[in-house]
Chain A
């Protein structure tokens, strides 16, 4: 069994008395806020490899002529069929589990569409653990949803990128619409490991 007996470490790496803990494992990397002209793609580039995990926090609305849309996510400009995704969602009356293998992107649920009441956006938190580990394919986990005051959807979605390369770029586009609308907001965070 692997066991970790926990002691505090100072920033210099020496063992110290309790209380001398290096705070702040979740570090902002980049933020993209969509302006009045919309954005066809959200691109995080030159992602440093110094963190253990990545997390994206987003609110999104697309120009799809519907109440809802989803999003597509790809890594390192790879748009070949190296991805799979699966989802569990509930819409207030029905639960659905489904997925797709050998696909060109990972689907993220949910974004609001242009026919949703003004001011409504879908919300998502996407976790990408061990994003720079070159011995592992990359798994994503997305908790998301939107409530439209009478309709909506909540989901837990997973994704797989069958590539062991470290993730250096992330691109997100609407699944059906052609652009994200103003006030959509995407924030990328790095999460450190202990000892880093």
Chain B
């Protein structure tokens, strides 16, 4: 049988919201991980919420580089955060209601003894000019295999009801 994505875990935020979501005890039997996120925060200040990940409860060793479009222009930057991995922006309370950001976080060779290079595609949406389309490259300078992933808004605020988080494993060979 040919392998595609393997479903590992799913989390759906309930009423009341939640500050973060964690996938724990990640099996080490895949080659790559893929996290798919449909999320929104209740943050009511600023333009969009920064989304981030933390591996193995580690708050050191993260660097990043990103380019973005914001609906009227473009920009680029680096090292948005060093104590967590930057994963672009997600939609927040200042944007169109019932609208959630869409994020794919690809983590190749997550169980290796090398540093971890992460590729993220993140978009918010909004029935207005302002939104963010942002590819991000992140490096976690740590040789430990990834056994847990915590996902959160780095800008603060809670992840709201109906936000979903899905972890998939991908095997390189049968």
Contacts and interface: CB of A to CB of B under 8 A. Distances in A.
A187 to B, nearest CB: 13
B125 A159 contact: yes
Interface centre among B97, B125, B128, B129 (most CB of A within 10 A): B125
Contact of B38 (A4, A8, A129): A129
Contacts of A52: 10, 164, 166
B92 interface: no
Interface in A14-36: 18-19, 21-27
A151 interface: no
Contacts of B67: 88, 95
Instruction: Place the interface of chain B in its size category.
Output: 35 or more
Contacts of B97: 137
Contacts of A72: none
B80 interface: no
Contacts of B168: 25, 191
Contacts of A127: 36, 102, 104
B105 to A, nearest CB: 12
A97 B162 contact: no
A3 B24 contact: yes
Interface of A: 1-8, 18-19, 21-27, 52-53, 84, 86-89, 95-99, 101-102, 127, 129-130, 133, 135-137, 139-141, 143, 156-160, 162, 164, 191-196
15 contacts: A2-B11, A7-B25, A18-B27, A19-B29, A21-B6, A86-B71, A86-B131, A88-B134, A129-B100, A135-B161, A137-B96, A139-B38, A157-B133, A160-B99, A162-B98
